[in-house]
């Protein structure tokens, strides 16, 4: 009798522990899917959910705060994503928060990111529909990069022209600066240069903004940029671009001052031709520009070879060849 009692006790312990483990596991899993505890619903409308599934995580500022509960197709361009958010988060999410769809890691599952808005809006209420933002897909990003590239190429070509004419010697410089047509040309060039520089700046700002977005949203490219070597490369490319741009800007400034002097008729020509320091400075500036342009070119080349973007550029090349053939 005592034997069976002891057996039953041990059996009881076994069963209880086993059941507890099962329940704990179920609880832990359920907890992560917000099946227990207080929650409130939110929703957002997207054009494309990029493979989002029921049960995918919802992140607010990088913290898992809930899950996707339902994905509803409203019409061919509108998909409503219903989410369940932890109740305690209702004190932090404001009405101007923006929902985007991203992915968790390079090959990870999709998730909904809720990004806090900048303003001082009211807190969300259960059932609210958040604004959504379909972020730039890699295709868009690459086309922006292409525009930047074209602009940079244009800029470089013009700069080269200027530099060439300048490096032809001190003699030409006098003629160049005396000649009004040439001066006009120069002016025009500088305007162009300014314009190019401006455009380069905006492009860079856009690129920067994009990079920031990428960083923040942990998308495929984001992870690439944030984690991997290619990301580092990309970063250095960007910073190089920035440097080049700064250099260009500086040059433009310098040229601007020069032009002012010419305009001001303060004997700028004499000043220029006599003041060797100034000439030397200009020369070195031009050299700098050349170097900067070269570097920029290099960077663009590197970007072309970067594995992320290589495919696109190859495609572009092919297309160009095709077009060339067509023209022929």
Partner 1 sequence: MATLQETVNSRANTVLKGVKNFVIETGELSHFAGRFFKEALKPPFEFKELLRQCYHMGNRSLVLVGVTGFIIGLVLTLQSRPTLIEFGAVSWMPNMVGISIVREIGPVITALICAGRIASGIGAELGSMRVTEQIDAMEVSGTNPFKYLVVTRILATTLMLPLLVIFGDVIALYGSALVENLKGDVSFQLYFNTVFDALGFGDLVPASIKSFFFGFVIGLVGCYKGYYSKKGTAGVGVAANTAVVTASLLLFVVDFIAVFVSDIFYDL
Site of interaction with partner 1 (CB under 8 A): 4, 7-8, 10-11, 14-15, 17-19, 21-22, 25-26, 28-30, 32-33, 55
Residue 108: closest CA among 68, 29, 61, 50: 50
Q: Strands, DSSP E only, in 159-288?
A: none
**Judged by CB, which is closer to partner 1: 26, or 123?**
26
H or E element at residue 208: helix 180-217
Helices marked H in 85-169: 138-167
CB distance 112 to 52 below 8 Å: yes
Q: How far is the CB of 8 from partner 1 (least distance, A)?
A: 6
For 32, phi then psi, to 5°, come to -75, -20
Question: The tokens 């550029």 sit on which residue?
Answer: 313
- For partner 1, the closer CB: 10 or 315: 10
Closer Cβ to partner 1, 24 or 319, answer by number:
24
Tell me how far CA of residue 192 lies from CA of 67, 143, 269, 293, in angstroms: 52, 23, 23, 15
Q: Give the separation between CA 59 and CA 69, rounded to whole angstroms.
A: 14
In the complex, the smallest distance separating the C-beta of residue 43 from partner 1, rounded to whole angstroms, is 22
Q: How far is the CB of 214 from partner 1 (least distance, A)?
A: 19
272, with CB counted inside 10 A (0-12, 13-18, 19+), is buried
Considering beta carbons, is residue 18 or 37 the nearer one to partner 1? 18
Minimum distance of partner 1 from residue 188's CB (angstroms):
52
State which residue, 102 or 247, has the beta carbon closest to partner 1. Answer: 102
Measure the CA–CA gap between 161 and 63, rounded to whole angstroms.
Answer: 53
DSSP 223: H
For residue 79, report the phi and psi dihedrals to the nearest 5 degrees: -125, 125
181 burial class (0-12, 13-18, 19+ CB within 10 angstroms)?
exposed
Indicate the residue among 67 and 132 with the shorter CB distance to partner 1: 67
- Taking the least distance from each CB to partner 1, the nearer of 18 and 253 is 18
- Shortest spacing between CB 150 and partner 1, in angstroms: 35
Least gap, CB of 261 to partner 1 (angstroms)? 58
**Among the listed residues 280, 297, 283, the one whose alpha carbon sits nearest the alpha carbon of residue 162:** 283
Comparing CB distances to partner 1, the nearer of 35 and 121 is: 35
Least distance (Å) from partner 1 to the CB of residue 67? 10
Distance of closest approach, residue 40 Cβ to partner 1, in angstroms: 22
């Amino acid at each position: 009798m005592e034997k069976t009692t002891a057996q039953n006790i041990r059996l009881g312990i076994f069963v209880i522990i086993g059941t507890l483990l099962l329940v704990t596991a179920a609880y832990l899993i359920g907890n992560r899917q917000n099946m227990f505890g207080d929650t409130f619903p939110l929703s957002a409308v997207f054009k494309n959910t990029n493979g989002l599934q029921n049960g995918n995580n919802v992140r607010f500022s990088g913290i898992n705060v809930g899950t996707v509960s339902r994905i509803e197709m409203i019409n061919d361009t509108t998909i409503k994503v219903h989410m369940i958010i932890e109740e305690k988060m209702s004190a932090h999410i404001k009405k101007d928060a923006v929902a985007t769809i991203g992915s968790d890691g390079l090959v990870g599952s999709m998730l909904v990111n809720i990004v806090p808005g900048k303003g001082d809006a009211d807190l969300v209420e259960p059932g609210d529909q958040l604004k959504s933002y379909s972020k730039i897909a890699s295709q868009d990003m690459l086309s922006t990069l292409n525009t930047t590239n074209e602009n940079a190429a244009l800029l470089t070509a013009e700069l080269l022209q200027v530099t060439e004419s300048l490096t032809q010697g001190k003699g030409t410089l006098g003629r160049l600066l005396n000649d009004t047509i040439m001066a006009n040309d120069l002016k025009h060039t500088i305007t162009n240069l300014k314009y190019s520089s401006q455009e380069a700046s905006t492009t860079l700002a856009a690129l920067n903004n994009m990079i920031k977005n990428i960083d923040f949203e942990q998308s495929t490219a984001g992870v690439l940029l944030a984690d991997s070597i290619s990301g580092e490369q990309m970063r250095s490319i960007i910073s190089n671009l920035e440097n080049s741009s700064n250099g260009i800007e500086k040059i433009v400034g310098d040229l601007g001052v020069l032009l002012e002097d010419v305009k001001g008729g303060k004997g700028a020509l004499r000043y220029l031709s006599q003041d060797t320091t100034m000439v030397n400075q200009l020369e070195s500036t031009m050299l700098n520009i050349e170097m900067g342009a070269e570097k920029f070119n290099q960077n663009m080349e590197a970007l072309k070879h970067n594995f992320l973007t290589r495919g696109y550029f190859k495609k572009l090349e092919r297309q160009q060849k095709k077009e060339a053939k067509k023209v022929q």
